[in-house]
Structure 1
């Protein structure tokens, strides 16, 4: 599950300016991570989300900026379940054809492995291209579709997200 009926809470383990070594964000140059925000679903801790943004990032124009969204999992989840839940959440934010849904689902199932505690999946927004995905610091692949990228990152950043508290915490301190 990426998102569900859950309670998101800020996790203050690391400060937003902590130094991290993440090859997936190195190419973005000068990005700064937000404080991690924990997703809990029915009392179960699922993952900590962290947004990596460049200076001048405006969340109202997020898709015009390169940025990264990192999910560090706190429990075992099947990659196919993560992919399916992603498509479900994307449907809440916009309409797309069944052919698009199947294409995106196939791509995500290939990109997202089964994960365990401490493992990371990071999505990078590549303006004008789509979304690039990394798993535990290793490049997994790209979905070259701007509509996909907008809807995928919208799971966390769109005002219509199913997790408005998580969104507010991820965007806290960033320019509108």
Structure 2
């Protein structure tokens, strides 16, 4: 393939970057669906959540397990607003130092693009590394460290969640 134009070079670099993400980091694509639930806000359908994992999640030890949480959006939302709301929900699990909150918010803003109806955002929890994100099957920047990943997925799985009914459905309680 000739890479004479800047556009061709950019396409070749993106194709190479996609190959770097496979196959180990794409193992989550083969994980079975374990559970799912719908999130509504003030009666409006916002997204459907799907939990995928190589094994069923243990309700008290989910932070030690690999899994993916995929949100299929039912409406348009700005990525920056998703990031800000995520950080607000992460704070429900305990205090955050201001510099830590800023660092995590920057990673979340990088990870979350604006979404439209039908878009899929998938977060993959890697217990020893943290979290990585995908949008409609394409890898996103904005990785989270282990502590941030536990807080992020705790939005849905931690006992302090603002949506205990959705937590029960996702964890099969």
Q: 1:24 to 1:79 in 2, by over 3 A?
A: farther
Write out aligned runs for 1:2-151 (5 A).
Answer: 26-28=26-28, 31-55=31-55, 57-151=57-151
State the Cα distance separating 1:36 from its structure 2 match: 2.8
- Number of aligned residue pairs: 151
Q: 109-118 or 137-146: which moved more?
A: 137-146
Higher relative contact order (CA 8 A, sep 6+): 1
Correspondences of 1:154-173 after superposition (within 5 Å) = 154-172=154-172
Q: Which has the larger radius of gyration?
A: 2
Unaligned runs of 5+ in 2: 1-22
CA contact (8 A) 2:57 2:171 kept: no
Structure 2 length as normaliser, TM-score? 0.81
TM superposition outliers: structure 1 runs of 4+ over 6 Å: none
Aligned residue for 2:48, secondary structure, equals strand
The structure whose residues are more often helix, as a share, is 2
Deviations 1:34-68 (A, max 9, x none): 34311111111100001101225323211111100
Residues 58 and 171 of structure 2 are in contact (CA less than 8 Å); yes or no, is this contact kept in structure 1? no
Residue 30 of structure 1 and its aligned partner are, at CA, apart by 5.4
Over 3 Å counting, the alpha-carbon distance change for 1:75 and 1:29 in structure 2 is: closer
How far, CA to CA, are the matches of 1:26 and 1:48 in structure 2? Answer: 21
What's the RMSD between the two structures over aligned residues?
A: 2.0
